[in-house]
Structures are given as structure tokens and as C-alpha cells.
Amino acid sequence: MNAPATKVAIVTGGARDIGRAVSIKLAAAGFKVCFNYLSSAEQANETLALIKAAGGDAIAVQGDMTQSADVQKLIATAVATYGAQIDYVVNVAGGILGRKPLADLDEAFWDAVIDVNLKSVYLVCRAVLPHLVAGSAIVNFSSQAARDGGGGGALAYAASKGAVLTLTRGLAKELGPKGIRVNAVSPGMINTGFHDTFTKPEIRVNVAAATPLKREGQASEVADLVAYLLSDGASFINGESVEINGGSFFA
């Protein structure tokens, strides 16, 4: 990835798992990275240490991306540290929060899942817009669940990630004339703490066995895809969702 050292990237949820891999990848490519975390302060410090040990430049900002004030703080900190222009935004922050079938899917849980996966993307894109310029790019995180409805108890999660795809397409149309590209990535089964917490081991084994490549994906592979979508090599890709699932689902 060809990235001048003056480029600035914001990564939400950038302290662990796929977000960490994205933060490290972009810093290694020469970006100044401002990444956000919610409660994983220890992991944020580890990510900073990894980036700085490799000669990269990064800062970590705590905040809840479902709260407008925290989003504004993230953007303001990036601007105060690296300047008014922000070149790239990667919206990784999100989660399933739990698995509930419709009968148990209370309104508060529904709202929380929609907020963490969809509202967070909307708030970050709105807040960062004044700092984007022609040539900037945004990558949002959806999921294979947006296409296939997700696994058991993932109704709210799948719906929220489907909405991220629609938001991405709308933003691509609105911001494209300004020279700002907006795309999404939709991971399938990736070896992360997400599935360590919310997916039973036997289900993971079965999903990997049913995947043509016979394995789970790695966070670094998703980070490589994100880096490509931000690069000049992807300059005519806009409004797309790129599936990364080893061939387990075709959009």
C-alpha cells in the first residue's frame, strides 16, 4: 500500500481483534493512526506499543461511538494531534452483544445492537465529514450475516449489519461527487475474540469444515483488504461490499 506519512487514518474499535490488525497495518504503511476503544484500555496500550515498536505513529482515544459527544472527542483529538485533514476512516466498532431469538429480543437489546453497529457509523461519518477531502475514503464494517441472516440468535445483529450496507451505498452516492469513496467489508468466520465469546467451538469447527478453504479467516487478512480499499489501487471502487469468507457465501 502506497501511503505518504502525512496521511491520517481514524479507526474505531481499533484496539483489538480485526481493529487492532487494521490499526497496525495502516501504521506500518505510513499512516498516522488515531484509533478508538471503549473498555479495552489494556489492549489499546498493547496495540500502541506494537505500532510504536515498529516505528509507527498512533494515538488511542477512549470513547463510546454510540454517543455523539464521544465521537466529537475522537475527531477533535485526531485534529489536534495530526491536523485538520483526515484522509481515511475505518468503522470497525460494533458487536453482537449476545444471541437472542425473536421471542426473547427485548426492545432495549434491539436498540443497543442497532446503536453499536449502525448509529456509530452514522455518527462517525457525520462528524468527520468536514475534515475529509477529495481522495479520502471510508471503509465500514458489515458482516456475512447481513447477507445470510446470521446464525442462531443473531437477528438484531444481522439486521444492523444489513443496514450498514445500505448506509454505505447511500454515502457512496452522496460523497462520490466530492471525490470521497465509501465501501464496506463483510467478514465471515474470522478467528477473533468475537467468536471466542459468542460462537460455540463446535459451530466454529463445522463452519470452517464447510468453507471451501477449510479454515477460519485471520484478522490480518481482513486488514489487508481494508488497506487495499483505502489505496489508490481501489480508486474506482465505490459503494461496494467486499465479502471475505473463504468462499462460504457468495453475494
Amino acid letter for position 115: D
**Residue 208, C-beta contacts closer than 8 angstroms, at least 6 positions apart:** 189, 214, 215, 216
Cα angle for residues 117, 193, 218 (degrees, 5° grid): 95
Residues 71, 65 contacting (CB under 8 angstroms): yes
From residue 8, alpha-carbon distances to 27, 29, 110, 224 in Å are: 9, 11, 34, 17
Cell triple for residue 78? 485526531
- Active site annotation includes 157: yes
How far is residue 248's CA from residue 234's CA, in Å, rounded to a whole number? 24
Largest CA distance in the chain: 52
Cβ(157)–Cβ(96) below 8 Å:
yes
From the list 82, 88, 157, 228, the catalytic residue is 157
Q: Which residues are annotated as catalytic?
A: 157
